[in-house]
Structure 1
Amino acid sequence: MAEVIIAIDCMGGDFGPSVTIPSVKRILRKYPKVAFQLYGNIDEIQSQLRLHKIAANNKLRIYASDNDVLMTDKPAVALKTKKSSSMRLALEAVRDGQANACVSAGNTGALMAISRFVLKMLPGIDRPAIISAIPTLKNDHVYLLDLGANVECDEKRLTQFAIMGNELAKCLDDKPSPRVGLLNVGEEDNKGSDILRKASELISSIESIDYAGFVEGNQIFSGEYQVIVTDGFTGNNVLKASEGLTHYLAHKIKVAFERNWWAKFCGLLAKPVIGAFKAEVNPEKYNGACLLGLRGIVIKSHGSANIHATYCAIEEAILQSYQKLPHKIRERLQQANDKLTKDMS
């Protein structure tokens, strides 16, 4: 495979280089043809490279940043005043063709605003959507979007999400006809808001989408769908509630096996099964949400991501780079967008 270059915003998130550098070390072991551009405070980055015994070579290039984006910064302020931040420089590297993808755990609003300004949108797409895979009962995953980038959505934007999610599933999962659903309070056609009903009509009119209609919340994890579309407010709450439920179940299982000596003995016997369960539903495994709809690849890592979760986010950027995802989506979007524009005119 050809070499891929990933630009890393090392100063983003709660832990900065102390998490990104060891994650890069792990990636280099698995993907020897991948190179990195590290953006941030040079002293902090070099300190972590020494700590983890990573020698400077042509696979790692360090670029100094200044006035980096804080988690408390408003998107407009970060866009206008922090033009030499690690986030901005990493995105510009993607724009200029120096890197194939950008990974950042920084301020989501700022990343969205700067990405949109620097990279621009694909033709026919108004705003980026955050999309990520979540586990299902069928040992597979479903892509859920939007996860917080667009709190309020009209029928046109929801339809754009369906188009993009459909094409992403085709590209990354090699599924010729992913099953797409629209999240609603019921499956019946008369349920939900006017916007949802109009969006359902638009999505169902696009021949390239295998649209399954409305989906209720209890079907998200069923494995019957490959893509589920919703607005950013709902999607973000679904994601956070799912993460909270995962931690709740893990805690309750642990407490149950610590009640008495017999429970502890049963817990010891069940340890391999419990371990497999935790590994399967671990949110870290699914870290790395894509900002879909941009002209370049941008992966948003969770702000509190640890080393393993950051590794997963970087790996997602690598896989999408090898797939040349934006180019494929752009090609496949054109026909669907032409029909969408015609139907809405």
Structure 2
Amino acid sequence: MGSTLARIAIDAMGGDHAPGEIVAGALRAREELGVEILLVGDPQQIEEALAKHTHSHQLEIVPAEGVVAMNEEPLVGLRRKPKASINVAMDLVKRKRADAVVSAGHSGAAMAAALLRLGRLRGIDRPAIGAVFPTLIAGKPVLVLDVGANVDCRPHFLEQFATMGSVYSQYVLGIPEPKVGLLNIGEESCKGNELALRTYQLLQDNPHISFIGNAEGRDVLSGRYDVIVCDGFVGNVLLKFAEAVGEVALNILREELPLGLHGQIGTAILKPNLRRIKQRLDHAEHGGGLLLGVAGICIIGHGSSQAPTVFNAIRLAKEAVDNQVLERIASQYQETPQQSEEKV
């Protein structure tokens, strides 16, 4: 990228709080991250949202018509609404007018639009959504994928997830040699269903990743692993459960710590510590998941995203662009031929 600013296309109409919170997060990203923003959606609604910010920068608005609603079947919605905001945003990347897309709208529609408009990277059979989780070790996250793009998987899909996750972990999260684990019901290599058994062997034989074995559910947040792979069904359940646990923990802290005089005094003293706890536990701090494996940078945010989450999603997109994640993943598959026997 050199000194060129990353240009991020934002689906301004996607999400429960669009366009107001989306616009607010985009404005903050423009000011603090120095990225160029393209707000995609209904111009009138976007302009009304921008008007609420007295010190806003002039952001470019790209007109779109309609949005794929959460209750719509993704492909049907995309075909019915060719000028929907998510379609227009993906087209901006395809036409090289933007470097990345961020959407908090219908996740299935975002994935489908990315595949239809951008296509898969060469050598990748199935894209995967990677989500960053906190661990017991401060400053050491774990990347889990897939967390929802592929309900059913073949072993070589998970092997590709491990490769893509290792690239992302190394170049964006700054981990020199990411340790990869396979989510399973036991640590022993003989444990698990057929998918787990066959995937274990593929990961063990792959010289381009550092596979250290099976990871049980209790190991996910231990900090022992940098990348954990699983199918999208299990990963999505894990993601939603982890988000709920984080919210419960934060609510308990809010309710219990201020109780009584000592609690009120202690809460005031511990305020900086509590802020750091929130940053480690709150899923909003991570912004969303990166759709790895498509020929463009695409961040899929939470449907409930508010301004801080949108800001962090844009930050993720910028980091992926700046660190050339697409090019680095593609280079892995130029060097590493796929194992065709696994594709039957």
For normalisation by structure 2, the TM-score amounts to: 0.94
Residue matched to 1:19: 21
1:173 alignment partner, SS class: coil
In structure 2, the CA distance between the partners of 1:191 and 1:303, relative to structure 1 (3 Å rule), is same
In structure 2, the CA distance between the partners of 1:193 and 1:6, relative to structure 1 (3 Å rule), is same
1:193-220: CA deviation from partner (whole Å, max 9, x where unpaired): 0110100101111101100110011111
1:189-248: CA deviation from partner (whole Å, max 9, x where unpaired): 111101101001011111011001100111111111110001111111111111111121
* Counterpart Cα distance in 1 of 2:306 and 2:174: 29
Residue matched to 1:182: 182
* Counterpart Cα distance in 2 of 1:238 and 1:109: 18
Cα-Cα RMSD: 1.8
* Counterpart Cα distance in 2 of 1:256 and 1:17: 35
Q: Is the 8 A contact 1:163 1:333 kept in 2?
A: no
In structure 2, the CA distance between the partners of 1:64 and 1:222, relative to structure 1 (3 Å rule), is same
Q: Is the 8 A contact 1:165 1:227 kept in 2?
A: yes
Provide structure 2 residue ranges, at least 5 long, that are not aligned to the other structure. none
Residue matched to 1:94: 93
Q: Which amino acid in 2 is paired with 1:37?
A: L
In structure 2, the CA distance between the partners of 1:237 and 1:68, relative to structure 1 (3 Å rule), is same
1:182 alignment partner, SS class: strand
Q: Which amino acid in 2 is paired with 1:195?
A: L
Q: Which amino acid in 2 is paired with 1:89?
A: V
* Counterpart Cα distance in 1 of 2:96 and 2:275: 42
1:112 alignment partner, SS class: helix
Residue matched to 1:70: 69
Q: Is the 8 A contact 1:164 1:333 kept in 2?
A: no
Q: Is the 8 A contact 2:74 2:109 kept in 1?
A: yes
Residue matched to 1:193: 193
* Counterpart Cα distance in 2 of 1:248 and 1:308: 20
1:314 matched to 2:310? The reply is: no
Q: How many residues align?
A: 341
Q: How does 1:1-345 map to 2 (within 5 A)?
A: 1-32=3-34, 34-53=35-54, 57=58, 60-139=59-138, 140-336=140-336, 338-341=337-340
Q: Which amino acid in 2 is paired with 1:49?
A: L
Q: Is the 8 A contact 1:68 1:87 kept in 2?
A: yes
Q: Which moved more, 1:243-252 or 1:90-99?
A: 243-252
Q: Is the 8 A contact 1:206 1:339 kept in 2?
A: no
Q: Which moved more, 1:91-100 or 1:242-251?
A: 242-251
Tell me the CA shift for residue 344 of structure 1. 6.4
In structure 2, the CA distance between the partners of 1:84 and 1:248, relative to structure 1 (3 Å rule), is same
Provide structure 1 residue ranges, at least 5 long, that are not aligned to the other structure. none
2:339 alignment partner, SS class: helix
Tell me the CA shift for residue 166 of structure 1. 1.3
* Counterpart Cα distance in 1 of 2:302 and 2:340: 35
* Counterpart Cα distance in 2 of 1:101 and 1:214: 33
For normalisation by structure 1, the TM-score amounts to: 0.94
* Counterpart Cα distance in 1 of 2:29 and 2:295: 25
Tell me the CA shift for residue 270 of structure 1. 3.4
In structure 2, the CA distance between the partners of 1:264 and 1:67, relative to structure 1 (3 Å rule), is closer
Tell me the CA shift for residue 254 of structure 1. 2.9
* Counterpart Cα distance in 1 of 2:43 and 2:285: 29
Q: Which amino acid in 1 is paired with 2:126?
A: R
Tell me the CA shift for residue 67 of structure 1. 2.6
Q: Which amino acid in 2 is paired with 1:86?
A: S
Matched residues, percent identical? 33
* Counterpart Cα distance in 2 of 1:223 and 1:324: 26
* Counterpart Cα distance in 2 of 1:343 and 1:87: 34
Q: Is the 8 A contact 2:144 2:227 kept in 1?
A: yes
Q: Is the 8 A contact 2:128 2:291 kept in 1?
A: yes
Tell me the CA shift for residue 343 of structure 1. 6.9
Tell me the CA shift for residue 258 of structure 1. 4.3
1:136-170: CA deviation from partner (whole Å, max 9, x where unpaired): 11111010001111111121211111111112112
Q: Which amino acid in 2 is paired with 1:29?
A: E
Tell me the CA shift for residue 171 of structure 1. 2.1
* Counterpart Cα distance in 2 of 1:272 and 1:99: 38
In structure 2, the CA distance between the partners of 1:56 and 1:166, relative to structure 1 (3 Å rule), is closer
2:276 alignment partner, SS class: helix
* Counterpart Cα distance in 1 of 2:13 and 2:279: 28
Q: Is the 8 A contact 1:21 1:49 kept in 2?
A: yes
Q: Is the 8 A contact 2:146 2:235 kept in 1?
A: yes
